[in-house]
Amino acid sequence: GALARATEAANAAYLGSPDEALMNSSFADPMEFLSRWLVDALPDGDDGLTRLVHGRLHVEHAIFHRTQPSVAAIVGWRDAALGHPGADLALLALPYATRDDQALPPRYRGHAGRDDLASIGVPTEQEFIDRYVERCGLFSVREHLDYYTAHACFRLAATLHRLDRFA
């Protein structure tokens, strides 16, 4: 299914051209573990959830309504493909799981631990996920959200590693 293919692609991106610095770093063991775990823990029923997905869905691709607290449009569809909507949701929700860490690209810096989100109009993580699931009708996504989040983190780490090698 779509998620299995995305997992294979992320593994290939990470493992495709390993370098000595990576293999000798503290980064290697967790990535190797997660790489194997993602294949072994792939949720059942993946094929039934294949949809057109954005592929790089994060807040920088959202155009917000001028007067209402809502998204008016999503841009940046260059990487759109058939895929798993749970992967898009997890990537978009990643800021709920991460802190405002300067080591991350700005689009992935999070707000975990902040207690002022409601005052600035940002829904809680659960409210955000509930809205997504209800609007899309994909109720089974909730059951495996931890998997999709691990998948999004692995893809992000693999991408950052690949970019770091060429920097």
The structure's pTM equals 0.78
Q: Is the pLDDT of residue 11 over 90?
A: no
Of residues 94 and 48, more confidently modeled = 94
In the prediction, which pLDDT does 77 show?
A: 93
Please give the C-alpha separations between residue 167 and each of 160, 161, 162, 163, 164, in angstroms, as whole numbers.
10, 10, 9, 6, 5
Q: Is the pLDDT of residue 135 over 80?
A: yes
> Which of 133, 152, 6 is CA-nearest to residue 90?
152
Q: What percent of the chain has pLDDT over 90?
A: 8
Work out the average pLDDT over 108-124.
77
- pLDDT tens-digit readout, 32-67: 888 889 888 988 866 568 889 898 888 788 898 888
Q: Is the pLDDT of residue 75 over 80?
A: yes
Q: Is the pLDDT of residue 17 over 60?
A: no
The DSSP element (H or E) to which 64 belongs, if any, is: strand 62-64
> Which of 89, 72, 73, 127 is CA-nearest to residue 3?
89
Q: Is the pLDDT of residue 132 over 80?
A: yes
Count the Cβ atoms, other than its own, within 10 Å of residue 15. Answer: 13
Strand partners, 83: 51
In the prediction, which pLDDT does 150 show?
A: 92
Mean pLDDT for the chain? 80
Q: Is the pLDDT of residue 74 over 90?
A: yes
Given pLDDT bands bounded at 50, 70 and 90, which one contains residue 155?
confident
